[in-house]
Amino acid sequence: MKRVEQVVDVFRKLGGAARLPDVYAYFEKTVDVELPKTWRAGIRGRIYENSSDAGGELKKDLFAKVEEGFWKLRDHEIASDLIETRKDLDPTEVVEMVLVREHWRRKGARSVFENQAFTISHADSRAFEGAGLRPFFEYRQLGIAEATKGAYGAHVIRAVPGKESPGTWHSHELDFQMVYVTQGWVVFEYEGQGEHVLRAGSCVLQPPGIVHREVRHSDDLELIEITSPADFTTQEEDAR
C-alpha cells in the first residue's frame, strides 16, 4: 500500500483523476488482504510527497490537484466531464462502474463477440420475400439471425395489398416476441386482453405462448418484429 506505483495504478484505473475516498474505496474493494490501520494515511502520503501542489518535500511530481477534493495524474489527460459526473456519486458507485468496465475490457472483443457478429442491413440490400409465416405479409430479413447464430431474429413485415388475414387463432413457442409498427395500422386480438389497434409508433410485447390472432390491417401496414429464437414453432389454437 505504501508503494507509489500502486497508487498511480489505481488512479489510472479510475480514469486518471479521483477523490481520495474513491481511491480508498477501490483499495477496499480489490485488496484481498487485511489492510493495516494506517493504510489511508499511507496513500495520502504517497500523493502528497509526489506532488508539487502539496507543498511538502518532493520526490517526484506525479500528482496534480485539479480542484478541491480531486487529484489527477499530472501526465494524464482526463475526460472533460469526469469530475462533474462523479461529484454527486458515492465512492462505492464510482468503483462499481470502474470494475464493470474493467471486467468487459479483460474479456476482450473476441469473447464479447463470440456469439454475435457485427452486421448492418440497408433498405436496398435485402428484398422482401413472400415466403414466411403469413401469406398475406412479405418479409425482409435484417441479418440478425445469421449474426446471432439463430438466437434472435428480426425482420421488417409489410402487407401484401388486397390480401386479408383469415383471423386464425394461434400461439408461438419462443422466449421473446416484440412488434413495432412503423407505418399503417393492424388489429390484434389477444386471449384475455381483447382487441388492440396498433398504429405507427405502437409497440407490443407478446408474452411466450399467448394465444392471439391478426384480425385486419391496412394495405400500407409495415412493422418490425423481433423474436428469440429466430426460428420457432407456431401452432393453431381453438377459436376463443
pLDDT tens for each residue of 109-145: 555 567 788 889 898 878 888 766 678 899 999 999 9
Q: What percent of the chain has pLDDT over 70?
A: 95
Helix spans in 113-179 (H): 144-147
pLDDT tens by residue, 159-187: 999 888 888 999 999 999 999 999 999 99
- Taking the whole predicted model, whether its pTM rises above 0.85 is answered as no
Return the minimum-mean-pLDDT range out of 50-54, 91-95, 111-115, 199-203.
111-115
**Residue 230 gets which letter from DSSP?**
S
How far apart (Å, rounded) are the C-alpha atoms in residues 18 and 22?
Answer: 6
Q: Find all residues with CB under 8 Å of 16, minimum gap 6, and list them.
A: 72, 73, 76, 77, 78, 82
Residue 56's pLDDT is what? 74
